[in-house]
Structure formats: C-alpha cells, structure tokens
Structure 1
C-alpha cells in the first residue's frame, strides 16, 4: 500500500497531520517509523462528530498543497515554463520535467503525487467515517457540520482529486497514456478517472442543492463542465469511462448552469500552505522560468527534446509569453511577469517589469523580445546595459547613473505570491469553456462564442475581436489561464496547439503526462 495510506491507517496523530498539511517543502517527506507521541490523538478520536469541521478544514489545506504543486509541474512539462538558468535554480528534477524525459525517482513528481493522493485519501476517509456504523453521527448535538456539508466536502474534494489524477498523471511505462492508481489498484485510465470524478461531482451537487447554496451549485457545475470537456476532447483509446460526444453533451449542459460574471472558486493559501508557484516558479525559488522562446535554453540544454525552429519562419514551436507582452503590453493584465535578477530576487517589487516596457512597440509579432531590448534607443528609454540571448538587460530608473542597469537572469510569473489565493476555476475560464463548446456545435448558453470571448477580454481591458474560431480560443485560453496548469491538457487535446517535444530522444518517449513514480508503483502488486 502507498506510504500515505499506510501512514493514515496507523493510529498516529491524524489531527497533527491535518494541522501541518502543506507546511513541508518539496524535498521533505514524512517519516513514519517513529514512536507515537504520548499526547497524539488516535484515529478513533476523529469519529467524534464535533471533529467534522476540523477534518473538512484539513482537507481544504491539503487541497491547497496539492493544487499548486501539481499545476506548476504541468506548466513545466508544457512549454509554458522551462527549467531556468538562474543560479538559484538547482533542482535537476525540474530539468527532467522540462525535457519530458522523467526518471521514475523524480522527487518533484513524487512529492506532488503523494500530496495529491493524500488529499484524495482524506476526502474518501471523511466519507467513510460518515457511512460506517461506528463512524460519527452528524445529527448528534455536538456535531460541527451537517450531513449535507460533510457529504458535499467529501464528494467534491474526492472528485477534484480524481480530476487531477486524470488530467496530469500517466502510466509509468507509457508517458503518452493518462491515468493513475488509487491505493493499490490496477492502473485506471484517464476516461475512467474522469467518470469517477463526474460521479462524485453529481453527488456533491445533490448536497449543494440540499443546502440551498446556489453559488456552490454553480461552482460544481463549472468544474463538471471542465472535467467533461477534457474527457471529451482528448484522443483517448476506447476503454470506456467518460469520453467522446456524450462527454461534450454533458459539458454543455453543466456549463449552462456554471459561474456567472465576477464569480470564482478559489484555493486558499496562508501561513501553513504556501503557493508553490512562488517557491518553484517565481521570486521564492525560480526552478521554472516563464517561457521566452530562447532555443539555447529550452530543456536546460540536457537533451534534444524540443522540436527545432520552423525553417521557413524561424519561429519556435514553444510559445513565449514574454514575446506576447512585448508585442502588446496590455496583455500584462492577464500575463503578469516579474523580473528575477541575477541575485535571484525581484526588481522594482513583485510583479514589476522594466519601467520602459509600456513603450515597447515592436514592428511585428515575429520580433524576439531580446532583440527589442537590444535595439532600443537608450536616449528614448533611459540608461541600459548590454544584452545577450542568455542575459537580457533591463532598464534602471531613468534618473539613475547611465552606467547602472539591472541584469535579468530570468522572467518569473508575477501572478501568484507565496500566499496568493488562486482560482480552481474562474468565471473567465467557464466562459471560454462555453465558447469552445459553442464552436464545437454544443449549446452552452444564450451568448455566442464571440460574445463570451469578448466579455472575457473586456475584463482585462483588451479590445474586442471581430471573429473567433477554435484556434483563437486556444490563444485566448493560453493567455487568460496563464500559470494555472491549463496549457498541458490544451496541448494534448486541441489540434490548434502543436505539441512542443519531439516524439523520442535516444529511443525514449517524451512525456505528455507526469508519470507515476516508483514510490507509487513499487508497493503496488497490481501494477
């Protein structure tokens, strides 16, 4: 049995585990072969109905730990982020993820998967406590949550966990096949995991309806729509589960009842649960830098995993957000970046860019960002230093000595700080889901695809489009959902988005899913 399940089935301090969920860094792990603390609470204590709210709070904390831990690695496997050259980026595990050649002992994937499986276990265990004859009674006077609240939490978080497993993880021996295991099960393909998530979302919706909470209902319907959209648009083998036309019909039905403008469902971060985008793809520790399309730096230079540039246009397959904001600085509203300088810290404060960036108006979309910086007239923008493909030069305060300048080691995401809450799903994403479904021929509401896209663009101060197709939807999703783990599934499921890695390197397939690691597969006799 996996280590997380073994730990939780022992009479160790489950309460202590829940309190400290999310406080450990990626390189840490639980040590289970220690004496039980004398003051530790046994597992049976948590059958007390007074502990229901406490258990739900622990599940939410573990959700936060799991969400950013999985999605930032997905951004690294996609070409949204890449392994950085910053001297502060020392983990070769991220280099493997960027190259798509992932060892079965990759510690970053191991930790993210363990956190996610722990999240799933806690949600499932809460439902077990409610349903077992010796479990807690939600009707007891001491109960801290109603039966509907308990069932909602257990089902919705159990569904979320299965959605993550279906979307981000894959077979240990076939990195092009999505799916995972649950406890010591045989391998479960992604369509079956999406179906299991759908079943639990349906149960959660029933509880939200019983509570009369319409916002909870809209949240559930929104994530059901995304779950079904992903299931219906991936090119899965016909193995059963949720997929194909039936899934897309379901997605449209759920999307019509989803989030309204201004609404979202956020994952909360606090002192105990830091946002991993800060510590792994930002100012805290830049293991994954925002993609700038620099061919010399792709995959960290350790392999030939990335496709070569198109010989006719010179453009790389890897899509660069840095180039996007240089071409249209207004895109910074939905693609916020931060300078990470040679000392590994942000410059001008978190989320800040060179102060001249708003004046950048390159002549065409094919201009490389570093070329724009190199070619700029210093009399127009203030003091500057030299630049090269590996070390870009930013501009210091115009009032500073002309000899002073800031050296950029990397571009980091400027969207999520250490304790920044991030949407599990936002109304903007739901509107883009509806727009995509409309273009695929499914009725997802009263607005047209173009109207939905322009409402989303307007929320970032961007001008309206005059037309939209699936290729443009891919662009709008890519920019609107920057640093949320969305580019990876979009690269696999949308024909308009070309996959960025070569099929094989030295006879080894490159990964399109984060493969199950040996800590998950080793103790499993069924895999």
Structure 2
C-alpha cells in the first residue's frame, strides 16, 4: 500500500505539471497554470522530468511482467497457496480475462503515463535554449528511449482481441503489433542519435533487435543484435525500493505468493543442480498438502535494497544472436553464445543447441535465462507453443480505454 500511496502522490504531482491549462480545471486562472508550465519547460527541470518517466516505467514494468508471466505457462495462480485471493490474477492465469480487470489497469495506466511523459518531454526540450548540451542530449536520449519502450510494451503485451496484439496512443485508432513495433523502432533509432556513449548505443541496438525479432524480421534483427550489448555490459533495469516495492516480491514472491512457478522449474534444477544459480526458488506448503515453489529472484537483500527487474541484458542479446544463427540469419557459434550466458551464472555448459525441438533448445534457454522477465508469453506465441487455445494470448486493452476511446469497440 505504501508503494501505491507514494506513486499516487508522484502521479498527481507530475500530472498537474504536465497538463495544459485547457485540460486542468475551469476555475484556475490560466496564467497560473501557464506559469507552472513555463517553470517545467526549463533546463533545470529536465532531470526531474526524466526521473518522473523512469518512476512510471518501473511502476508499469513489474505489474505488466507479472501479468504476462501469469498468462504464460511460467507462473500460475492457485487458491491452494495461502493468501492467493485475487480473482483478477485467476482470470489472467486461465486466460478468461474480463475487460475491467484492475490488475491489468495497474500495468496499462502507468505504461500510458510514462509514454505520455516521454512524448511530452520531447516537445518541452524543443522549446528550451540549452547552455548544457550534454543535458540536452540526455533529455532527448531518455525521451526517445522510454517512448520506444512504451510502444514496445504495447506491441508485445496488449491486444484488442484474444489473438490480435497491439495498442493505442492518445485515444487514437488501434495500432496492430507489427505497426507498433515499427513506431518503437523509430523512437529507438532517434535515441541512437543522442546516445551519450558506446554502452547506450549498444543497449538501444539490442532493443531494436528484439523488436525485429518479435516481428519475425530476422535479417534486421541480426544487423542490430550484432551491434548490441556485450559480456560485461550493465542491464537496463526497472528499479525499486522499500517505498516503491517490486510487485514480484509483494504478490509473486517472498511476501505473498499469489502466483507460483510452474513445476518444470524445480525439475530443471533436479536435472542440473547448477541451474539453481539462475533459478532461485523457495517453497510454500499449500492447503492441499502440495509443496509449491515461488520465485526468489526478486527480494530484499541484506542491505535493505529491493531487486531491480532486468528489461534488457547482454545475456538476452547473446540468446537473440544464437537464435538468429540457428535461423540462418547470421553466422556464428550458437553453442558458444549460449555457453557464455550459462557461464555468467556458473551453470554447466552444453555441447549442442536446437531452435525449438530437442533439449537443450533456445526456447528452453530463454525460459530459464529470462525467468520472471515477461519474456515467456511472447516466446510462446512466436514458437507456437501457447498452452491455452482459444484464450487470451495478450492482455486486453482495458475497459476504461475502450469506453473513452471512440476508435475502439467496448
């Protein structure tokens, strides 16, 4: 509750600052609101605006990834686990999702907010006469980076119908996933022109590669993955604290296990104990006497820090390259790339790798490496292994959006 309370305070503060006088309230002197807007559109306020985007990005990411993992076959909901009570999570788990599901609202709303904040920042930056050109560059880089991530999220996780992915922007028409990926790529490519260093350039290249991979455009995916993150690069993360907690920890982890992990994950560890290094699990006894497993990847450490969520890592970039090699889109040693990832966790190495058939496979490696990072759902669709035919394969665009958007069916 503390996380939501603080988030609401930040939301109202930032929203007040971002809204124009026409959209505010009728009894406020327009000059007052115009002065507030001018205050924001200043060089000194750019760091504050970036922090606002990053905060909403984090608020969206944990709720979004939990919902996506719950809809996939990676996590599942059962009332046999103590304190598993949310009907909204149960709907997601079985793929029968009502449009007014507030667990999905909790992801969709901050997603649209950080998208809007990122887009609005671009307009503000265009109006500022900068003395600090590095800050100007940082502002544009972050605005286009997070604007691209928001569009990637919409393309990957949301849908108009059970099998029709895509989203909306500014109460506009529905944009199918492939077109939304193109919009994300446009933002990312502009971010490249403002990237402050080699690391940021590699990061954005990895994000572009992922969009092309999910589109099935393997040639372009290979081009950008080859210029993506490398061993030793830091991940792009959504960051949390005890005041703004990681919802995996709160609802699908050590505090409460409304979602628990599929039983194949402890079996992975049974088959190879070294897999425990990248699949941290703990157990809870269910009311039915069954031992259930929950993720312990996201937790509170001994120093009081809450685990961040990786959104892009060099390990994922390696797995993208390995997949593209197996698909014939680029040259290289897929096994070596996969083993480099496994060695980063002290997991035993392999001697062979397939695309999606026999074990070990890229599908299985992604399942383990990208555990609780929202990747299983798009992978199930990409590899045609979704486990609930006829059910939602995307999170539905919310009822609130459908009601207020004349371009969408209610």
Give the TM interval when normalised to the shorter protein.
0.7 to 0.9
Q: 1:328 aligns with which of 272, 297, 310?
A: 272
Query: Could you say which residue in structure 1 is the equivalent of 2:144?
Result: 155
Rounded to whole Å, the distance in 2 between the matches of 1:335 and 1:195 is 33
The equivalent position to 1:46 in structure 2, one of 40, 45, 51, is: 40
Q: What is residue 338 of structure 1 aligned with on the other side?
A: 282
Cα distance between partner residues in 2 of 1:44 and 1:109: 35
Aligned partner of 1:180 among 146, 152, 167 = 167
Cα distance in 1 for partners of 2:229, 2:55 equals 23
Q: CA deviation at 1:102?
A: 0.2
Mapping 1:360-509, distance limit 5 Å? 390-392=288-290, 408=291, 410-417=292-299, 419-443=306-330, 447-471=332-356, 472-495=361-384, 498-503=385-390
Counterpart for residue 209 of structure 2:
225
Aligned match of 1:100 in 95, 99, 104? Answer: 95
CA distance in 1, matches of 2:267, 2:322: 26
Mapped contact 1:13–1:43 kept (Cα < 8 A): no
- Give 1:513's aligned residue: 394
d(CA) in 2 for partners of 1:470, 1:421: 30
**Is the contact between residue 14 and residue 52 of structure 2 (CA under 8 Å) also seen in structure 1?**
no
- The structure 2 residue matched to 1:128, chosen from 119, 123, 127, is 123
1:105/1:17 CA distance change after superposition, 3 Å: farther
Number of equivalences: 379
CA deviations 1:102-135 (Å, max 9, x no partner) are 001001011210111111011001011122xxx3
- Checking the alignment, whether the CA contact within 8 Å between 2:274 and 2:348 is kept in structure 1 is no
User: Secondary structure of the equivalent of 1:423?
Assistant: strand
SS in 1 for 2:319: helix
Give, in angstroms, the shift of residue 249 of structure 1. 1.2
2:188 pairs with one of 194, 201, 204: 201
CA distance in 2, matches of 1:429, 1:17: 37
Deviations 1:458-495 (CA, angstroms, capped at 9, x unpaired): 22222222211102110111111111111100000014
Give the number of the structure whose residues are more often helix, by fraction.
2
The answer to whether the 8 Å contact 2:60/2:106 transfers is no
Q: Aligned partners of 2:354, 2:53: CA distance in 1, in Å? A: 40
Pairing 1:108-147 to 2, within 5 Å after superposition: 108-131=103-126, 135-139=127-131, 146-147=135-136
Offset at residue 448 of structure 1 (A):
0.8
Using the TM superposition, give the Cα deviation of residue 48 of structure 1 relative to its aligned residue in structure 2, in angstroms. Answer: 1.9
**Structure with the greater alpha carbon radius of gyration:** 1
Q: C-alpha separation between the residues in 1 aligned to 2:191 and 2:347? A: 36
Residues 438/35 of structure 1: CA separation in 2 closer, same or farther (3 Å cut): farther
The answer as to whether partners of 1:64 and 1:273 remain within 8 angstroms in 2 is no
Q: What's the counterpart of residue 158 of structure 2?
A: 169
User: Is the CA contact (8 Å cut-off) linking 2:17 and 2:36 kept in structure 1?
Assistant: no
What secondary structure is seen at the aligned counterpart in 2 of 1:466?
Answer: coil
Secondary structure (helix, strand or coil) at the match of 1:424 reads: strand
**TM-score of the superposed pair, with normalisation by structure 2:** 0.86
**Which residue number in structure 2 is paired with residue 13 of structure 1?**
13
Q: Which residue of 2 aligns with 1:300?
A: none
Q: Distance in 2 between matches of 1:15 and 1:441?
A: 48
How far, CA to CA, are the matches of 2:347 and 2:397 in structure 1?
40
- 8 A Cα contact 1:221 1:254, kept in partner: yes
SS in 2 for 1:42: helix
* Alignment equivalent of 1:190, drawn from 174, 177, 198: 177
Contact residue 162 and residue 193 of structure 1 kept, 8 A: yes
User: What is the rounded CA distance, in whole Å, between the counterparts of 1:35 and 1:491 in structure 2?
Assistant: 52
Structure 2 gaps of 5+ residues are 1-11, 19-23, 301-305
The ranges of structure 1 where at least 4 consecutive aligned residues each deviate by more than 3 angstroms after the TM superposition are 15-18, 32-36, 39-44
Distance change in 2, residues 1:87/1:464 (3 Å)? closer
**1:44 deviation in Å?**
3.7
Q: Tell me what 2:232 maps to.
A: 262
SS at match of 1:467: coil
